[in-house]
Structure 1
Amino acid sequence: MRWLAVILALVVLGYVALCALVYVKQRSLIFYPQYTQVAPRSDDLQLKRDGLVLRGRVLNPGQSRALLYFGGNAERVQDSADELARSFPSHTIYLLAYRGYGASGGVPSQDALFGDAVALYDHVRQQQPDAPVDVIGRSLGSGVASWVAGQRPVPHLALVTPFDSLVHVGQLHYPWLPTGWLMRECFDSAKHLATHHGDTLVLRAGRDTVVPPAATAALIASLPADRLQVVAFAHYDHITISAAPDYWPAMARFMGSTVARPAP
């Protein structure tokens, strides 16, 4: 009995230590800026926040509508620049790398990304005061985009491989961990979108193993059906969804754009 008690105590201590490690290290488990670093460019969009300089790009300047794009984790947002410019020719498009990503300074966190995203929206409204501001968010960026849409008017919100909350995603991946108690970076999109009054498009991947289908389904169930469109790409996964032939056209149709394709 004494040995059993010792073994049980060691198991409990090991579990508690693992939970403590996850709690302390969660930001390094959520954010992967190290794969996105690039050198600053002279023509970068620059947004100053909290003594930092956040950098990105502006595409299709001078258009009557604006579009903010928030990329996924470990995504270099500039890699989508050409497709964004072609797919949304009537939008001026703003790509801003998250803190610590791309050529932006700082360290990422949920609250910092939320604050930076709203600051970008407000900057765009100053630059284009009469332009409606549409938003696209992919994966982790869907959580950022959902926050913006809950805080500011967004006529068209497109969410790619989204989730209802990162807590739910964590519970689905690690049911043996008390993720509800451990996670500070919650990205509670379902809650934030309760105050979004525009139209929403959800693009989901049928073979997504990063965002479990139940987390996307829970977000869809939380949204008003009369302002929601869902497009499913059954044969694509979390990464390859953007290679689907109708991926960009689906968002362009939703935004009311005509995709500008290069001449053959």
Structure 2
Amino acid sequence: MAERRAGRLLLAAALVALLGYAAILLLMHARQRSLVYYPAHTRVAASATDFELRRDDVVLRGWQLNPGRTDALLYFGGNAERIEASREDFAAWFGTRTVYLVAYRGYGASDGEPEQDALLADALALYDDVRRRHPGGDIGVVGRSLGSGVAAWVASQRPVSRLTLVTPFDGLAQVARAHYPWLPVDLLLQERYPSAGFLHGYRGRVLVLRAGHDTVVPPASTDRLVAALPVPPQVVMFPDDGHNTLSGDPAYGRALADFMR
């Protein structure tokens, strides 16, 4: 009798644990975009911007620096980055280029809600708009963290001779797998940004900036991206910096400017 009762208790405990795990999976699947995108503290008034790109359903807003240059540069920021904070630095670092800092949908003063397919389509629309503005110029692309996935997509779909990837990953699923090894990430994740897959045929020049103390993007993820590139990239390591601090290193701006010059 006691053994039967103990067996029932073990079965009940296992069932509770299984139901709890299933509930966690459902919650993670439902809330995954809130774990990938952090637009709330990036919001600014539309009147604070000076550039607009009208899409079918939203208006994307941002800033244009160094207007009137022949060449251009597109910057795609991190998942919680206030891109306007870089305006002064970018204007100085890329003085020979007109720089476009345009917030993702849902970020800054841009309309809409962020999600992968929309962000990738917006990025191509931005490139095409900038190409019309700079018909004979070179367009360089810089992407940081989440933005490295967006930048990789643009480089795979449009002519980009120089691509800079800051703290990049081979794919968001691989990053999530490292942080949540107990979850079936491949089944749950919709926001994937498979940068290595995007760039499998890219033959342009690539600069990769890495942080020695990156606790967000595992080093192995960046290693796999570097190894997957058809043309070996230039890699600059910032050994004393973390994922969010390397941009404060004086060598960061020099590396970006030298590569795009």
Structure 2 stretches of 5 or more lacking a match? 1-6
TM-score using structure 2 length: 0.95
Deviation at 1:196, TM superposition (A): 2.0
Match status 1:27 vs 2:18? no
Partner of 2:162: 156
Deviations 1:80-120 (A, max 9, x none): 11111100111110110000100000000001100000000
Partner of 1:83: 89
CA contact (8 A) 2:174 2:221 kept: yes
Give me the CA root mean square deviation: 1.0
Match status 1:185 vs 2:186? no
CA contact (8 A) 2:103 2:110 kept: yes
Q: Which moved more, 1:194-203 or 1:28-37?
A: 194-203
Deviation at 1:224, TM superposition (A): 2.6
Deviation at 1:43, TM superposition (A): 5.5
**Which residue, 201, 206, 213 being the options, matches 2:212?**
206
Match status 1:166 vs 2:172? yes
Partner of 1:57: 63
Partner of 2:4: none
**Letter aligned with residue 82 of structure 1:** E
Name the % identity.
Answer: 54
**Letter aligned with residue 57 of structure 2:** G
Q: Distance in 1 between matches of 2:219 and 2:49?
A: 40
Q: Distance in 1 between matches of 2:13 and 2:256?
A: 56
Deviation at 1:218, TM superposition (A): 1.1
**Letter aligned with residue 239 of structure 1:** N
Q: Distance in 2 between matches of 1:249 and 1:38?
A: 29
CA contact (8 A) 1:153 1:196 kept: no
CA contact (8 A) 2:202 2:230 kept: no
Give the secondary structure class of the aligned counterpart of 2:242. Answer: coil
Q: Distance in 2 between matches of 1:237 and 1:92?
A: 29
Residues 72 and 122 of structure 1, relative CA distance in 2, 3 Å threshold: same
**Letter aligned with residue 35 of structure 1:** H
Q: Distance in 2 between matches of 1:146 and 1:139?
A: 11
Q: Distance in 2 between matches of 1:26 and 1:8?
A: 26
Match status 1:238 vs 2:247? no
Q: Distance in 2 between matches of 1:145 and 1:14?
A: 38
Partner of 1:261: none
Deviation at 1:197, TM superposition (A): 2.2
Q: Distance in 2 between matches of 1:225 and 1:117?
A: 24
CA contact (8 A) 1:166 1:186 kept: yes
Residues 42 and 23 of structure 1, relative CA distance in 2, 3 Å threshold: closer
Q: Which moved more, 1:213-222 or 1:102-111?
A: 213-222
CA contact (8 A) 1:136 1:158 kept: yes
Q: Larger C-alpha radius of gyration, 1 or 2? A: 2
Structure 1 stretches of 5 or more lacking a match? 257-264
In the comparison of the two structures, how many residue pairs are matched?
Answer: 255
**Which residue, 11, 18, 22 being the options, matches 1:16?**
22
Match status 1:124 vs 2:123? no
Give the secondary structure class of the aligned counterpart of 1:224. Answer: coil
Deviation at 1:42, TM superposition (A): 6.5
Partner of 2:257: 252
